[in-house]
Amino acid sequence: MPFYSGRSMSVVIDKARGPLGRTLFRVVRYGFAGLAISIVYSLAVVVLVAGLHVAGPTAASVIAFILVLPIGYVTHRRVTFLDAVPDPLMPLRFAVTTAASFGVAIGGMYVVTDVLGKSYLLGIALNWLVIPAMNFLIYCLWVFRVGGRPGVPADAASGATEPAPDR
């Protein structure tokens, strides 16, 4: 039995009234989802570098990023942005955003380890700080297009519904 069902999560979203309430609730969901994804990514890097000794820090970061990519899309689509109106270009926009994140992750790891000569753990920490903030903004504004889409009322795009008026 899943931890949550789509219906129960929709009920919780409906209770988060107003743009500020919906945004704060989304930030919390994004934080939990991102934390889980970041832990999986970090563990993969550590296992590849220190456990299996199959790759250096930069190559391990590449491998881990690729392994975590599908987990990230499914998690953000079904948890963070489950109320976003789906469209066929959503996965493509996610892939483009991920390519930018990939560049930041790999470039950051390279700079920290090869240029600055610091531990790969500092490279992981850099990724934990920069990528989530960057991605949240891009996901909201472009990938999942939360609220304010042409032809879609903001409340419909956010998944919120107003109660029926009393008659």
**Contact call for residues 109 and 58 (beta carbons, < 8 A):** yes
User: pLDDT (tens digit, 0 to 9) for every residue of the chain, 167 residues total?
Assistant: 444 445 555 545 555 567 778 888 889 999 999 889 889 989 999 999 999 988 888 889 889 988 988 898 899 999 988 888 888 898 889 889 988 988 888 898 899 999 999 998 899 899 888 888 899 999 989 998 876 544 343 444 444 444 444 44
pLDDT of residue 161: 42
Q: For the chain, what are the domain ranges?
A: 6-158
The Cα 94–Cα 142 span in angstroms is 9
Tokens 């934080």 map to which residue?
Answer: 31
**Contact call for residues 76 and 139 (beta carbons, < 8 A):** yes
DSSP 51-106: IS--S-HHHHHHHHHHHHHHHHHHHIIIIITTTSPP-TTHHHHHHHHHHHHHHHHH
pLDDT of residue 62: 86
